[in-house]
Structure 1
Amino acid sequence: MRFEQLDLNLLVALNVLLEEKNITKSAKRLHLSQSATSSILGRARTFFDDDLLVQVGKTMQPTSFALELQVPIAEVLTTIRGAIIGKRDHNPHLSERHFKIVASDYVIQVLFSGLLAELATISPSLTFEFLSPFSYEVGEISKGGVDLFIAPEGVMLDHYPSASLMSDRLVCVVDKENKDVGDVISLEQICSMGHVSVGFARVSHLSIDCSGTVILATH
């Protein structure tokens, strides 16, 4: 199908190519041969009059123009997937949709353990795939690679819609033999001592930021 002389199938393939930056991996995802995938890249280069992906050593890197295209293309495909194709699954009892959700083990246990049991009764053909936030960046959702990304507020994308799902508080566990800590502990004390802090996502966003001024109650 063409729109303004653009073969819309090129957008699907180009989206995958820009994500994978590799002909072989892209071909596998597109269920095409490597030669067919290379041909599609060639057609996209001709249409956009840009190299889009260039060989740098053993890897392919997107051009600056390709980087400008990546988010709009992903957003268009996500809109089509959700607003148009998703309408076919309007009956939840019959839907066979597969959801990809990025969430920590803790969030899965707290939010999804009971929900999945209920959904198994209401929509038995729905399937869910839970992915580790340590393997996926939040930007994956804007590319259409996942359906839902659950992470601390500080990790989320400013330009992408999000909503508060739950709130929790940090609890500080202190060795009972530590005489330097009383009933409360300040962030300054934590940062001055050896401590363990939880990280989120592939680029570590620590649960305790030593540049802040939070006071945590000990338990």
Structure 2
Amino acid sequence: MQLDLNLLAALDALLEEGSVAGAAARLHVTAPAMSRSLGRIRRTTGDQILVRTGRTMTPTPYAVAVRQQVHELLHEVQGVLAPSRELDLATLERTFTLRWHDSLVALSGPALLAAVRREAPGVRLRFVAESDVDTPGLRRGEVDLEANANRAGAPDIRTEKVGETRVVIVVRQGHPLTRAGTVTAEQYAAAEHVTVSRRGNLGNALDDALARLGLTRRVVATAPTEAAALEFARASDLLISVPGATTRSAAAGLGLAVLPLPLELPPAPVHLSWHQRYDTDQAHAWLRGLARTALTVGGAS
């Protein structure tokens, strides 16, 4: 039997995405073409691979059993068919898409862009906003690098901790808390707050820490980005609690005061994530190195 390696890629995509439409989008083919590939895979394996259950599709026991093996085989084949070549940064032309937390873009984006332009002037960077819902951008190949506080749980996503930062309080100059000396947990809880959440969440880990002390705070608004939250703080007596390393520079530029948080919280991590298909991609590895340096020098560590 002659083996079609395109079917291996299609099977991997189908098992990863769990749908014909998702697999088609990942491999940049039409849904009918992917449906035909699924039919060929079914005839070749003698298994249905994916079966419809209501509005979704569920992998068969055989598909679940071979999923990791298929993924590893495809990775090995790609390594054989794409041998390592000398990377010429001076002539490299490529566009990378980066989905970073907005504060990390503001803090470390300029350093990364400067390094890229200096070493590979033909490379372009697309910084895109984080979505208010989790999206499989890394898996689909729509995003090359993510940088945020999240550690990916999927086995095919590589995640590297590149730094950490502690939460601080940011208020306007002249805010009553700036005259209080050391801010207490009670004073902190009594203030009115703005939270930062791209999903509009009013609560977070700070509320859990306050609850352990028998305290609650009043959150009057949410902001989708730290930049927006800083403007709320500058225009009122509202208080925001944000990662210090990514916010101190912006707060200072707006004339805001930064105060210690009177709660015991573990430091917030900064993670860099990418799909494992890029592990041996020299250009991607080069960009990861520059991003790692930019995020560290930028103050994420």
Sort the TM-score into its range (normalised by shorter chain): 0.5 to 0.7
Give the partner amino acid of 1:40: S
**Structure 2 residue 130 is the aligned partner of structure 1 residue 87:** no
Change over 3 Å in CA distance of 1:113–1:57 after alignment to 2: same
**Contact (CA 8 Å) 2:18, 2:57: kept in 1 or not?**
yes
Greater displacement, 104-113 / 16-25: 16-25
CA distance in 1, matches of 2:56, 2:83: 35
**Contact (CA 8 Å) 1:22, 1:60: kept in 2 or not?**
yes
Change over 3 Å in CA distance of 1:31–1:61 after alignment to 2: same
Secondary structure, counterpart of 1:60 in structure 2: strand
Change over 3 Å in CA distance of 1:28–1:197 after alignment to 2: closer
Tell me the TM-score normalized by structure 2: 0.50
CA distance in 1, matches of 2:15, 2:146: 21
**Structure 2 residue 35 is the aligned partner of structure 1 residue 38:** yes
- Map 1:169-208; keep pairs closer than 5 Å: 169-173=166-170, 176=175, 183-186=182-185, 195-199=193-197, 206=204, 208=206
Match of 2:151 in 1: 155
CA distance in 1, matches of 2:86, 2:205: 38
Deviations 1:81-103 (A, max 9, x none): 67963834621222233333331
CA distance in 1, matches of 2:129, 2:83: 25
CA distance in 2, matches of 1:69, 1:189: 57
- Map 1:16-55; keep pairs closer than 5 Å: 16-24=13-21, 26-27=23-24, 30-55=27-52
Secondary structure, counterpart of 1:150 in structure 2: strand
Change over 3 Å in CA distance of 1:190–1:119 after alignment to 2: same
Secondary structure, counterpart of 1:95 in structure 2: coil
Gaps of 5+ in 1: none
Match of 1:217 in 2: 260
* Aligned partner (choices 100, 107, 110) of residue 110 of structure 1: 107
CA distance in 2, matches of 1:82, 1:189: 58
Matched-pair identity in %: 30
**Contact (CA 8 Å) 1:101, 1:128: kept in 2 or not?**
yes
Change over 3 Å in CA distance of 1:140–1:36 after alignment to 2: closer
CA distance in 2, matches of 1:60, 1:113: 43
Displacement of 1:41 in angstroms is 0.5
Change over 3 Å in CA distance of 1:107–1:190 after alignment to 2: same
CA distance in 2, matches of 1:135, 1:78: 31
CA distance in 2, matches of 1:6, 1:98: 33
Displacement of 1:155 in angstroms is 3.0
What is the root-mean-square deviation in Å for CA atoms of aligned residues? 4.6
Change over 3 Å in CA distance of 1:156–1:185 after alignment to 2: farther
Match of 1:100 in 2: 97
- In terms of fraction of residues, the more strand-rich structure is 2
Deviations 1:154-198 (A, max 9, x none): 5344966543323322112469457xx872344x88679874444
